[in-house]
Amino acid sequence: MVDCEEDPLPDVADLSKIEVGLYLVNDMANEDLLSHFEEAVAFIDDGQKKGNVLVHCYFGVSRSATLVTCYLMKKYKMSVDEALQRVKSRRRCVGPNSGFLGQLLLYQMMGWNLVENNLQYRLYRLKAAAASMVICGKKDMDEKFQNLVQQDPRLHSNYNFVAYKCRTCRSPLINQDFILPHCHGETPVWSDSKWSGAANNLHTCDEGIFTLPISWMKEVTSTLQGKLFCPKCQAKVGTYNWCAGCDCPCGAKIIPGFYFIPSKIDKCM
C-alpha cells in the first residue's frame, strides 16, 4: 500500500501484514513529490509482482493519481498525457494539481529518471529546498537536499574545472559545473523546459554570477540569508538569500540566490 498524506494513517486497522510506503506530503502546488518518484515506482513495481497495490491519499484525486501516473510513465515509457488519460479511464475524477503536473513533465523531460546534473532539475531542487527551509519554518537544509551543496574547488584534484578565483588571494571559489545561468532580465523558472537543454544554446547573461551552494559557504545551509566570504582571505565576494533571492545587474531576480560580485572575483581563462 502506498500512502501519500500529510499525516500517517490513523491506527484503525491491523497493518502488520501489509507493506506500507508512506510519503508525507500536502496537496499543494509547491510540495515536493518528485523526490519520491523513484522510490514510489520501485515500491509499486515490487508490490505488483507480489500481488496488488493500493495507492491512496485523502481524496484520491491529486497525490495518489500523480504517483500512479508516474508509475505508468516509467514502466511503459509514456508521456504525461498518455499516462494520465489511462488513469482517468479508470477513475474520471483524478486531477493532479499544477505543481505535480509540472513535476511529471520534468520527469518525462529527463527520460523518466532523476538526472542530478540536469539544469532544470537543479532549479527545481533549489526551489524545493528553499520551500523546505522557509515555508515549513526549518532553519537547516533537509537531508534529501544536502547533495545540492557542491564540493569546495580547493579540494578538487583537477584545477581545469575552476571557473572563478578570489581577486584578492587567488583562491579557487567556483567550478564551471556550479554556475546557474540565466537570460538577460529574465528570472529562471524551474518549470521552463528550455533549461533541460544545453544552456550554451541560450543567450545568457554574464553581468552577475550565480551558483549552487558550495561547501565553503559555511552558514548557507543553516541561515536564510547572509554574506559570502572567501574561505581563505575572508574578503567579501557575494551574498545569498534563500527567501527573497538576489538581484542581477541585468534585472533578473534569482530565487534562491547565491550571488557573486563580479568585481570581487576573476574569471579563469
Say which residues have a Cβ less than 8 Å from residue 76's Cβ, sequence separation at least 6: 83
d(Cα 213, Cα 139) in Å, to the nearest integer?
A: 15
d(Cα 130, Cα 140) in Å, to the nearest integer?
A: 10
Residue with cell 508525507: 24
Which grid coordinates belong to 193?
Answer: 523546459
Please confirm, yes or no, whether 233 is among the known catalytic residues: no
d(Cα 181, Cα 164) in Å, to the nearest integer?
A: 14
Show the beta-strand stretches assigned E in the chain: 2-5, 21-24, 55-56, 162-166, 172-175, 209-210, 225-229, 236-241, 246-247, 253-254, 257-260, 265-267
Say which residues have a Cβ less than 8 Å from residue 213's Cβ, sequence separation at least 6: 148, 149, 150, 220, 221, 240, 258
Per annotation, catalytic residue among 4, 57, 166, 205: 57
Angstrom distances, CA of residue 82 to CA of 59, 65, 70, 98? 22, 13, 11, 17
Closest residue by Cα to residue 149 from 188, 121, 175, 178:
178
Closest residue by Cα to residue 220 from 233, 206, 247, 238:
238
Say which residues have a Cβ less than 8 Å from residue 80's Cβ, sequence separation at least 6: 69, 73, 101, 104, 105, 108
Question: Could you list the active site residues?
Answer: 57
